[in-house]
Amino acid sequence: MDSPNLEDIQALREFKKQLFSVYWERFGTFYVHAMPHPDLKIGKRGLVGEEPESGIILVIGPRAARDIRIEEEWVYAELQFGYTWEEVFLPWDAIFRYFDKSQQTVTQMRIYLGKPDIPSQKEEVASETKEEVSDPGSKSSKRKDNVIQVDFGSKTKK
Q: Give residue-wise pLDDT tens across range 108-150.
A: 777 766 655 444 444 444 344 334 444 444 444 444 455 666 6
pLDDT band at 61 (very low <50, low <70, confident <90, very high): very high
Does residue 32 sit within a domain? yes
CB 102 within 8 A of CB 157: yes
Q: Is the residue at 126 inside a domain?
A: no
CB 20 within 8 A of CB 98: yes
What CATH number has the domain bearing residue 28?
Answer: 2.30.30.220
pLDDT at 79: 95
The model carries a pTM of 0.69
Task: Kindly list the distances between the CA atom of residue 74 and the CA atoms of 91, 109, 114, in Å, as whole numbers in the listed order.
Answer: 4, 16, 14
Q: Is residue 100 part of a domain?
A: yes
The answer to whether residue 155 is domain-embedded is: no
Tens of pLDDT along 91-107? Answer: 999 999 999 888 777 77
Whether 12 is in a domain gets the answer yes
The answer to whether position 120 is within a domain reads no
Query: What is the tally of structural domains in the chain?
Result: 1
Angle at 124 between CA 118 and CA 128, to 5 degrees: 90
Chain CA centroid to CA 11, Å:
16
- Rounded CA Rg of the chain: 16
Residue 91 belongs to some domain of the structure: yes
- Judge whether 115 lies within some domain: no
> Helices marked H in the chain — which ranges?
6-27, 51-54, 123-129
Domain that holds residue 77: 6-108
